[in-house]
Amino acid sequence: MRPPGADERPLVGVVGSGIAGLRAANAILRSEVDARVVVFGDEIHRTYNRPGLTKKRYPLSDSLGMTIAEDVKVKGAESDALTWRLGTGVETADLRARTLRLSTGETFGYDALVIATGVRPRSSVRGDGECRLHTHRTLRGLSDARYVHQRLQAGEKVTIVGAGFVACELASLAREYGCEVLMLEARRSGPFESLLGERVSEALRRWLVRHGVTFLTGDSARELLCEAGEPDAAPSSDRSLFIDAVGSVPNVEWLHGNGLDLSDGVRVDAYMRVSPWDNVFAAGDIARYPDPWAAGSPTRMEFWKNAIDTGNLAGRSLASSLGHGSPASGISYFPSMSTEVIGLRVQIAGNPRTSDSTKIVCGDPDRPDQGVIVAYLREGAMVGAAYLDQGARLNGAYIKLLRSLRERQPDVLHAP
């Protein structure tokens, strides 16, 4: 019950000020629901372009942090109905009582809630810090980026653990800064192997090596990992930079105690609704939704476009639950992303992970700089595509392939 004279408009809490939270807030405001929206973010920055943190080299400057922050700013709708509570973490949630407990000690009562707290990097040692041999770091936020760019500007030797997107972008960045780069991938034979398969992964590893990266796999990599090597190792004065890019952990701890399925992020239905609560939605890296590209099995994606699409959908579903806007249709998502590995553009669409075979459509994986397109098939039907190129030689052919992939796009999924 609100006290007499209190604002009668519904109050929406958005936890997480990343792109998914911002897009959800924007979608709610666009639906013209007469609600107040409060966005909570434990970072002190407004929403920024997180992928931008590893995409370019910066000149030496005393105000590097400000330069990066300025460069990655993201615009969002400004509205009197929107309040930002930055530097304010949400510590616990009681979904039954519809209240949040904040890091400031306050409580916040809501009518509807969006969960968009993303993920944090996993580390190979406990937390960021120093082991006997290295300074361990991870890269997720602006302050991490400032630190890493500063160290790379100094031309330091860097060791990168992992061979996923962040690891490869960091290796590219470090080479651009002129650093010596060592990549360690103990479980796979090259970059993005679990997504793109061995052939493309091998091609990417060779590409990195050709551009001066030392890339160790298997036991050679394992021996240099700190868990294995540190205890007996002698202390070293060479405290070189060691970056862990070995996956992530969803930020779900504040939701404990509410009986939710938090086994891998927050499970939602095809409308981004967190069952059994009809006023709670989740979006972005944290949301595990029924993936139309994987026959509806629950999937969590850590991609920028996914955060935008699911953020929009969560906002529209929430507005519709408050009786505004047209009812949101269920999730229909065309997954696509791109990254750059030392000047080589890598574009991926669909869901190659679900394939059982691959077909080289054009080009030669051993010469990825000349352009190579790979189709990923399941039972003969295309479920994904990848395009590697140093320019845009095969752009036309890739777009044509995407068109036919889109035509195969699975139907929109609806909640049961």
Ligand X SMILES: Cc1cc2nc3c(=O)[nH]c(=O)nc-3n(C[C@H](O)[C@H](O)[C@H](O)COP(=O)(O)OP(=O)(O)OC[C@H]3O[C@@H](n4cnc5c(N)ncnc54)[C@H](O)[C@@H]3O)c2cc1C
Our CB check for ligand X shows the closer of 101 and 324 to be 101
- Report in angstroms how near the CB of residue 139 gets to ligand X at its nearest: 5
- Amino acid identity of residue 328, one-letter, is A
Q: To which H or E segment does residue 150 belong?
A: helix 142-153
- Report in angstroms how near the CB of residue 357 gets to ligand X at its nearest: 26
- Report in angstroms how near the CB of residue 202 gets to ligand X at its nearest: 22
In terms of Cβ atoms closer than 10 Å to its own Cβ (0-12, 13-18, 19+), residue 259 is exposed
Our CB check for ligand X shows the closer of 90 and 95 to be 90
- Amino acid identity of residue 282, one-letter, is A
Nearest CA-CA partner of 398 in 355, 357, 350: 350
Our CB check for ligand X shows the closer of 88 and 133 to be 88
Strands, E assignment, 172-247:
181-185, 213-217, 240-244
- Report in angstroms how near the CB of residue 93 gets to ligand X at its nearest: 9
Our CB check for ligand X shows the closer of 166 and 313 to be 166
Our CB check for ligand X shows the closer of 48 and 207 to be 48
Binding site for ligand X (CB under 6 A): 15-21, 40-43, 50-51, 53-54, 89-90, 116-119, 139-140, 165-166, 251, 254, 284-285, 302-305, 307, 337, 339
Our CB check for ligand X shows the closer of 254 and 289 to be 254
Q: To which H or E segment does residue 195 belong?
A: helix 193-210
- Report in angstroms how near the CB of residue 251 gets to ligand X at its nearest: 4
- Report in angstroms how near the CB of residue 72 gets to ligand X at its nearest: 10
- Cα-to-chain-centroid distance, residue 101: 26
Residues 244, 122 contacting (CB under 8 angstroms): yes
Q: What angle do CA 28, 29, 34 make, to 5 degrees?
A: 95
Nearest CA-CA partner of 39 in 8, 2, 83, 101: 83
